[in-house]
Amino acid sequence: MVTIRFLPHEKEIKVEPGTILLRAAMEAGVHINASCGGEGACGKCRVHIEEGEVEGGGREKLRPEDWEKGYRLACKSVVNEDLTVLVPVESSVDSAVLNMASTPRKTARIQEMDMDYLKEQGLFIPPVEKKYLELTPPTLGDNVCDMTRLINHLRMQENEHGLEVNLPVLRKLPDALREDDFKATLILARPVRSECGKTRIINVQSGNTSDRNFALAIDIGTTTVYGEVVNCLTGEILAQYGEFNRQISFGEDVITRIMYADKAGGLDKLHQAVIDTINSIIARLIKRSKIDVDDISAVALAGNTTMTQLLLKVKTKYLRLSPYVPTSTLYPPIKAEDIGLNLAPHVTALVYPCISSYVGGDIVSGVMGSGMYLTDETTLFIDIGTNAEIVVGNKDWMMCAACSAGPAFEGGGVEHGMRASKGAIEDFSLDPITFEPMSLTIGNTKPKGICGSGLIIMLASMFEMGLIDNQGKFNRNLDTKRIREKDGIWEYVVAWADETQIDRDIVFTEVDIDNLIRAKGAIYSGCHTLLNEVGMDMQSLDRIILAGGFGSYIDLSSAMTIGLLPELDPGKVTFVGNGSLLGARMTVLTNKLRQDVVDVTNKMTNFELSETPSYMDHYMAALFLPHTEMGLFPKLKERLDARQAWREGKSDS
């Protein structure tokens, strides 16, 4: 780590070598004027390097005399050693205002699966394992049949009893044993619970292949499908890959696909589309990890209820019709080839169970993988997407619900919203005097839109700086040309046309703000409703777990400022990434999850928010920034009061 000291603010921050100086300033809460997204076009982020050196620095954008004096562009300066940086007055504002206006960026701590813990607790027992055997070859004096020879060895040497064998194994057995002088490897599938079934011999391979036992974890999302290859001996992820779900051709959302599946031949087409997607991913994973498809022993799949039923080619019509009933919530182990996956005949597909029509196996998978169901802590689990799924509870009880947040946090319904990709504004701050923007894009290129994390920070910054009121309306009396009315809609110009990739102004409108407020209001009120149903409130929470595509990039302070998340200590918030994929991975590594998942699904009580009378009251109260009850956000209220006092002091002087 290297240390950067910013003057005259007397702020220090430690960052990884290779960090862009502008990003370090933003993380430290130091405002440097920048509106071109870090592309170097505007030249407004000029700083003076007092001590140390940077790489790059944007020489071509500075006058020669400024370069010689030690000035550099923060967006073009790469930090690899300790620095002292002076932010000139033209690039900064009153430091007292900065100390009050901004805090260092805080994102959720990433929570990863701890394989050492699984091993220490004796839980690292994959549901499918390999066992190498060296049998005594038959003779005229010992000519019992091959299967009896195998079973006797397992009983005496391996303490294996009550085994089942299927017909394909019997067909392979004689040649497999004799190819390597009765040295062979068995693939064993363990039952969920020993009292509920027998261990099955599902395959036999000649020689010793026990060091080659792999499994697949697959997350089937509405938009994207992700997969990974896992080494069942070490827990190591050998390869990861994702593709867009080919069902997109038949509709962007689950409702559209449910309606298409009800047409003649629709179910077959949607089933084949997702199977083709998964098979394409499997082929890429096998190639990347350099393994043999015959050494894959199991595949775990998790998806929402609609995706799961389409995967299994089960009718989806009744998922969208009251009373919203899925065909099944639990699924037995299935032969992978029976649903069309290009895997060996012995491979078992483990499909995650669902709770209801709109709380599916992806959420159950996230709950299991995060370990939420094992703790005494009252935990709020949120998977943020077009349909935000929420789970509240602990090891003793859980309640869940789905709320239609809409696509705003994924860029939908926002004029210049976009998914997180190169050129998307992902971070933003405002000069509290001039209201000029400081923005950073993914890839440090000219901006072409605003992604979800950028939208949250932008909305929070504008509210705290007084550009918008608690209803999301612009303060039209401010002295800035960036706030304007166009075609009857008020907007803020985030970047002028000559600073963008799209040859037009990038703006943030009151319509955009309204869509974001509605989305955050749906999520917050869903959480509030679930807690109230059991006599609790937001302050009862011990922990928040975020799952989903952009959870790791959400600035927690901003999310709390707009009322997306309750105001809690950021240290209580963790991020599990793709929770659906995490749970699927855990399933192929520990049979404990398969044992627990039925109990967990039985424990989870589903609420249809539309049928819960208090939900609409909570929703209406949440359609403000951050909420109608400011008492729920005391720290924010303190900051707003301090800013108002500062403004009044400035006006008096």
599-641 pLDDT, tens digit each: 899 999 998 888 888 999 999 999 999 999 999 999 999 998 8
Distance between CA atoms of residues 519 and 386, nearest Å: 9
Distance between CA atoms of residues 317 and 83, nearest Å: 62
Residue 109 lies in a domain: no
Residue 365 lies in a domain: yes
Q: Are residues 553 and 471 in the same domain?
A: yes
pLDDT at 93 over 60: no
**Residue-wise pLDDT tens digits, 323-334:** 889 999 999 889
Sign of CA dihedral 535, 539, 541, 544: positive
| Domain of 219, in residue numbers | 214-351
Supply the pLDDT for residue 619.
Answer: 94
User: First vs last Cα of the chain: how many Å apart?
Assistant: 43
Supply the pLDDT for residue 648.
Answer: 73
Which of residues 349 and 33 earns the better pLDDT score?
Answer: 349
**DSSP state at residue 216:** E
Among 174, 206, 238, residue at a domain's last position: 206
- Say if CB 198 and CB 215 are below 8 A apart: no
pLDDT at 251 over 80: no
Distance between CA atoms of residues 243 and 245, nearest Å: 6
With tokens 């394989």, the residue in question is 115
Task: Say whether the peptide bond before residue 447 is cis (omega within 30 degrees of 0).
Answer: no
Q: Are residues 236 and 170 in the same domain?
A: no
Supply the pLDDT for residue 114.
Answer: 57
The bridge status of strand 379-383 relative to strand 489-495 is unpaired
Which strands make up the sheet holding 224-231, listed edge to edge? 237-244, 224-231, 214-220, 296-303, 348-351, 334-335
Distance between CA atoms of residues 21 and 55, nearest Å: 10
Q: Are residues 271 and 399 in the same domain?
A: no
Q: Are residues 523 and 412 in the same domain?
A: yes
pLDDT at 195 over 70: no
Please give the structure tokens belonging to residue 504.
């037009």
Distance between CA atoms of residues 346 and 349, nearest Å: 10
Supply the pLDDT for residue 121.
Answer: 66
Residue 107 lies in a domain: no
Q: Are residues 493 and 410 in the same domain?
A: yes
Average per-residue pLDDT for the chain: 87
Supply the pLDDT for residue 360.
Answer: 92
Distance between CA atoms of residues 281 and 128, nearest Å: 22
- Say if CB 409 and CB 403 are below 8 A apart: no
CA distances from 264 to 184, 267, 410, 503, 649 (A): 49, 8, 32, 45, 71
Residue 251 lies in a domain: yes
Band of the pLDDT at 100, cuts 50, 70, 90?
Answer: very low
Q: What is the 3-state secondary structure (H, E, C) of 464-476?
A: HCCCECCCCCECC
Distance between CA atoms of residues 519 and 611, nearest Å: 19
Q: Are residues 563 and 471 in the same domain?
A: yes
Band of the pLDDT at 555, cuts 50, 70, 90?
Answer: confident
Number of domains in the chain: 3
Please give the structure tokens belonging to residue 445.
């290129």
pLDDT at 304 over 50: yes
Band of the pLDDT at 653, cuts 50, 70, 90?
Answer: low
Which of residues 64 and 124 earns the better pLDDT score?
Answer: 64
Distance between CA atoms of residues 348 and 194, nearest Å: 18
Give the count of beta carbons closer than 10 Å to the beta carbon of residue 287.
Answer: 11
> Position 9: which residue type?
H
Residue 78 lies in a domain: no
Supply the pLDDT for residue 108.
Answer: 54
Q: Are residues 403 and 518 in the same domain?
A: yes
Supply the pLDDT for residue 95.
Answer: 39
Distance between CA atoms of residues 48 and 275, nearest Å: 57
pLDDT at 516 over 80: yes
With tokens 């490897």, the residue in question is 185
Task: Say whether the peptide bond before residue 174 is cis (omega within 30 degrees of 0).
Answer: no
Nearest by Cα to 647 from 99, 97, 103, 98: 97
Distance between CA atoms of residues 507 and 270, nearest Å: 38
> Position 264: which residue type?
A
Supply the pLDDT for residue 277.
Answer: 93
Helix and strand counts by DSSP (H, E) for the chain: 17, 31
State the Cα torsion 571-104-520-609 to the nearest 10°.
Answer: 0
Supply the pLDDT for residue 105.
Answer: 52
Give the count of beta carbons closer than 10 Å to the beta carbon of residue 476.
Answer: 9
Please give the structure tokens belonging to residue 123.
């839980």
CATH number, residue 258: 3.30.420.480
Please give the structure tokens belonging to residue 649.
């002091």
**Residue-wise pLDDT tens digits, 274-292:** 999 999 999 999 999 999 9
Cα–Cα–Cα angle for 247, 252, 254, nearest 5°?
80
Q: Are residues 346 and 398 in the same domain?
A: no
Where would I find the H helices in 76-127? Answer: 95-101, 115-120
Task: Say whether the peptide bond before residue 332 is cis (omega within 30 degrees of 0).
Answer: no
Distance between CA atoms of residues 530 and 618, nearest Å: 11
Please give the structure tokens belonging to residue 209.
């292949």
The bridge status of strand 83-86 relative to strand 2-7 is parallel
Backbone φ and ψ for 235, nearest 5 degrees, come out as 85, 0
3-class secondary structure, 591: helix
With tokens 């000291």, the residue in question is 5
Distance between CA atoms of residues 459 and 496, nearest Å: 19
Among 351, 370, 396, residue at a domain's last position: 351
Q: Are residues 377 and 439 in the same domain?
A: yes
Q: Are residues 571 and 473 in the same domain?
A: yes
pLDDT at 652 over 80: no
Sign of CA dihedral 516, 518, 519, 525: positive
**Residue-wise pLDDT tens digits, 428-448:** 999 888 899 999 998 888 999
Among 183, 206, 229, residue at a domain's last position: 206
Backbone φ and ψ for 551, nearest 5 degrees, come out as -60, -35
Q: Which residues contact 460 (CB under 8 A, 6 or more apart)?
A: 555, 557, 558, 559, 561, 562
Backbone φ and ψ for 366, nearest 5 degrees, come out as -65, -40
Give the count of beta carbons closer than 10 Å to the beta carbon of residue 45.
Answer: 26
Residue 14 lies in a domain: no
CATH number, residue 138: 3.10.20.880
Distance between CA atoms of residues 44 and 431, nearest Å: 12
CA distances from 28 to 31, 74, 99, 343 (A): 9, 14, 10, 50
What long-range pairs does 421-424 form, CB within 8 A, spacing at least 24? 421/451, 423/37, 423/447, 423/448, 423/449, 423/501, 424/448, 424/449, 424/450, 424/451, 424/454
Which strands make up the sheet holding 77-79, listed edge to edge? 19-20, 77-79, 54-56
Residue 445 lies in a domain: yes
Residue 121 lies in a domain: no
Q: Are residues 242 and 196 in the same domain?
A: no
Supply the pLDDT for residue 550.
Answer: 60
Average pLDDT over residues 536-547: 90
pLDDT at 503 over 90: no
> Position 421: which residue type?
S
Distance between CA atoms of residues 46 and 406, nearest Å: 40
Q: Are residues 449 and 517 in the same domain?
A: yes
